[in-house]
Every structure is written in C-alpha cells, then in structure tokens.
Amino acid sequence: MRKFLSLPREKQNRIVDAAMSLFGEVGYKKAYISEIAAASGISKALVFHYFGSKKGLYSYLVYYTGKIMMTEAQQARDTANKDFFERAAVTIRFRLTIKNRYPAMTTFIDSVFNEDEPEVAADIERLKAIATDMHSKVEVGSSEAGLFKSGVDPLQVVALIEKYTEGVVYNWNNQTTVDDTMKEVTGCLEMLRNNLCK
C-alpha cells in the first residue's frame, strides 16, 4: 500500500477511478484485476504489487471512500444550529459535491450497498456504518417534531425528503452546477417548510 501512496496523485486517481468504475458496474465477484489494470493503464502485476489482492484493492477503495465522505461531510456541515430542512439541504449539497468531484465514487457506493460477497462483508459494514451515521443527522429530532403543523407526520416528511434527495442526486449531471441545483433545492425545501411547519 505504501508504494501505491507514493505514486503521483494523477496515477493514483486513474487506478482508483478505474477500480471504482468496474466494481460499481459489475460488483466484486465479476470485476477482474486485468480489466482494472487495462482501464488504468498499468499492468495486472502492478495492481497486485500495490494492493496484494483484489480484496486488498476493494478494502482500500472502501477506506478511501469512507475517508472522503467523512472529510467532505465535516467540511460541509455544522448541524448544531440547523433545523431539519437546513440539514436536508446540506446533505443534498454534500452528495452532489461528491458526485461532481468523484464521479466513479457514486456508482461504487451504490454497488457496495448491493454487494453480498462474504469476502468483503466487513468492508461493506464499515462503509454502511459511516453512511448510517451521516443519515441519522438528517432525521427529525424529537425536539423538532413539534414544529410541524397538526396532522403532519414527521416520519412521512423524512420519507418525502429522502425520495426527493435521491431524485435530485440521481438525475444531476455536471451540465448544471451544484450551486444552480442548490438554488432550486433550497426553494423546494423552503416551500415544504412554509407549508408543513407552524
């Protein structure tokens, strides 16, 4: 691993992007090191030299993804003084930023959550724990439940926002800037706040 980390950043990124893309498209079992090597412009032997095995490469990608998710999330939010709708906006911006900066990572993350290969189960659980922790920061707190109008179920609001978030992130492409998309998102969340809260 040390040898991989001593490579120029551009070469590291090329290998990581190729591996994330392939694992993301076909899953752990059907991803072949020879295809990852070809897509990243290095030999199969070098991939094994850097990571030791396919599992070693996959474990590194999970570690790398988790580290980026935590770093980006930390920079994106201080949720202490934000209400539910503000936290939802921060989460959407965070996910769009990840998709913008690390295009292959979104596909890789989606594939990890659908992966059932026992060999990488511990890695998958590690990434799921990070994602669950981030998700819990967006839920409606018990102290916020009273902010909603009578008859509005906070759990349904959370479900609605989650579906909206998935739609925004899934449909976003880099033809629209994150900032422009967030203007629309902020408007929609504000409309919901005005109609659902007291």
Task: Dump pLDDT digits (tens) for 28-53.
Answer: 999 999 999 999 999 999 999 999 99
Q: Which two tokens stand for residue 126?
A: 């590690």
Q: Which two tokens stand for residue 67?
A: 């580290």
Task: Dump pLDDT digits (tens) for 64-98.
Answer: 998 888 877 776 656 556 778 888 888 888 889 88
The angle subtended at Cα 115 by Cα 137 and Cα 171, nearest 5°, is: 60
Distance CA 110, CA 87 (A): 22
For 2-196, which CATH superfamily applies?
Answer: Tetracycline Repressor, domain 2 (1.10.357.10)
Q: Which two tokens stand for residue 85?
A: 């709708």
31 closest CA partner among 19, 44, 16? 19
Residue type, 19: A
pTM comes to 0.76
123 closest CA partner among 62, 32, 67, 177? 62
